[in-house]
Structure 1
Amino acid sequence: MHELLQGKKLLITGGARGLGRDFARAACLAGAEVVMADILAEQVRQEAEKLAAEGYRALGLGLDLANPESIDACVKQAADWLGGLDGLVNCGAIATGIGGVDMTELDIEVWDRVMTVNVRGTWLISRAAVPYLKGSAAGKIVNIASDTALWGAPKLMAYVASKGAVISMTRSMARELGEFNICVNVICPGLTLVEATEYVPRARHDQYVDGRALSRPQLPEDVNGAVLYLLSDLSSFVTGQTLPVNGGFVFN
């Protein structure tokens, strides 16, 4: 575990809190050097400073996934600071405050904002990272989608559609980048107990727990192993795959 990602140079978006923050810590524990990026710029810098204070090599950068210039600048700064790039984890996304309304009541502005960040942002930051990943012996992109896109969660259409797009994009990216020995895969976590899901009604949390083969709440650390595996050399012949990590709420 402590050497699984030894020397790997990683950029992880959505690193200020929740899953992204947990991925960054797990990657550091596994030996990686990590840049954490988030629109919550001050918060992500503080989280990176905590890791650095523990002896890990970590840096926090501001990132606006709705802004192409911010994306390009973040990737360049990350690659310059790291001295290259071996892996990208696309965890940054809009998830809070966009659910609970019927598709007939969904605002066009909300739809457009979610698609801009969750879909276009994932594409643009991956595009910006590719030139650096080509310089790695085994580049990795790990996209974070959601199992809501696999079972069609109601009253969450913009988010579900965006994560479904990320799953499809992953397959296309894997086809295009395979010739450069870059593996691209997507993880679909279930409803996880993080800050972004605090607004989710109790009934939805209970629905997940009751419907899982492993009947308990999902924690951020439940997803770490899958992320580390897909970033590591152990998955060097795995690409274009969709991996639900949800305790068996959805089987794939």
Structure 2
Amino acid sequence: MTAPLAGRTVVITGAGQGLGRAYAHRVAADGATVVIADLNTEAGEHVAAEVTEKGGNARHHHLDVGDPASCTALAEYVDAEFDAVHGLVNNAAIFSTITMRPFWEIPVDEWDRLMAVNLRGPFLLTAALLPALRRAGDASVVNVASDAVWLGRSGYLHYTASKGGVTAMTYSMSHELGDDGIRVNAISPGPTYTEVPRGTVSAGQKAAMHAAQALHRDAEPEDIVGVVAFLLSRDSRWVTGQVLSVSGGLIHR
């Protein structure tokens, strides 16, 4: 059986750790060549080496998604290395390092940096990679939203606002890029636990989230990666403009 992503090139941002790392391993296992685009060069190169050791094809390229020049540099790199980009996962985001606080106490510079990465980043990079995505003929963009938007989670208003923007961006992008054969969808995870420390979640909060879910357990990367792989594959060729909640039944829309 042919691997579902064989012969395809997929760019994943923020793939040096956490869910991005898990996405990189999965799409490489499904046959894609993975470009691990991460601000942390050491972490990105480490994940590329992990994927390669398992028989996959991966390479790292430095990226600051909030910097237009850095997005342009990545686009120039993929143009030189590949015929086209078949998939883009806009995963990079600021979250685990956030200090939870009332919105009126959020420093303006923290708001601006988070928006630059979480919201402006997907806009900048998708635009920069658009020629390479168009050349694919059937490319897929997967944005990463969050079920925190629908829950109205307090303590990090800038994060929920940024992910609400990603959701709206997904709807509009899907219509603007449909004529190019480019599909644009988003996943909307709930709390998902990786190797990245989550000091902002107390035991009581975790128990409350378990109780609110239809599936009463922690979510792990393996619970999320298959949905991303599906959206990148031709199996989802008639799916676009959708935001898929991947949260064990935490919310119902």
Unaligned runs of 5+ residues in structure 2 are none
CA shift digits 1:72-111 (9 cap, x unpaired): 1113213432332101000001112224101121111111
* AA aligned opposite 1:155: G
1:66-215 matches, within 5 Å, as 66-196=66-196, 198-202=198-202, 203-215=204-216
Alpha-carbon spacing, 1:75–1:204, altered in 2? closer, same or farther (3 Å): farther
- One-letter amino acid of the counterpart of residue 102, structure 1: P
Q: Give yes or no for contact 2:137–2:180 (8 Å, CA) kept in 1.
A: no
C-alpha RMSD of matched pairs (Å)? 1.4
Equivalence for 2:224: 223
- 2:4 is aligned with what amino acid? L
What is the aligned-residue identity percentage? 37
Tell me how far 1:171 sits from its aligned partner.
Answer: 0.6
> Comparing 143-152 with 157-166, which one deviates more in the overlay?
143-152
Is the Cα contact below 8 Å between 2:83 and 2:132 reproduced in 1? no
Shift of 1:127: 0.4
Return the offset for 1:225. 1.1
**Quick check: 1:98–1:110 contact (8 Å CA) kept in 2?**
no
Structure 2 counterpart SS, 1:135: helix
Quote the residue 2:42 is aligned against: 42
Shift of 1:137: 2.5
Provide the C-alpha distance between the structure 1 equivalents of 2:86 and 2:232, rounded to a whole number of angstroms: 8
Change (3 A) 1:217 1:2: farther
Number of matched residues? 252
Equivalent residue of 2:168, what SS? helix
TM-score by length of 2: 0.95
Distance 1:2 1:91, change over 3 A: farther
In the other structure, the counterpart of 1:13 is 13
Distance in 1 separating the partners of 2:218 and 2:183: 30
Task: Please state how far the C-alpha of 1:53 moved relative to its aligned partner.
Answer: 2.5
Q: In structure 2, the residue corresponding to 1:131 is in which secondary structure?
A: helix
Which amino acid counterpart does residue 41 of structure 2 have in structure 1?
A
Distance, in Å, in 2 between the alignment partners of 1:91 and 1:244 is: 15
**Counterpart-to-counterpart distance in 2, 1:180 and 1:205:** 42
Q: Say if 2:33 is the partner of 1:53.
A: no
| SS at structure 2 position matched to 1:96 | coil
Point out the more displaced range, 1-10 or 174-183: 1-10
Q: Distance in 1 between matches of 2:55 and 2:104?
A: 51
- Answer yes or no: is the 8 Å Cα contact 2:93–2:118 preserved in 1: yes
Deviation (angstroms), 1:2: 6.8
Q: Secondary structure of 2:36's match?
A: strand
CA distance in 2, matches of 1:95, 1:196: 10
Q: Distance in 1 between matches of 2:85 and 2:143?
A: 16
Deviation at 1:41, TM superposition (A): 1.2
Q: What is the SS of the residue equivalent to 2:175?
A: helix
Residue 193 of structure 1 contacts residue 219 of structure 1 at CA under 8 Å; is this kept in 2?
Answer: yes
For the 8 Å contact 1:84–1:135, the answer to whether it is kept is yes
Q: Which amino acid aligns with 1:66?
A: G
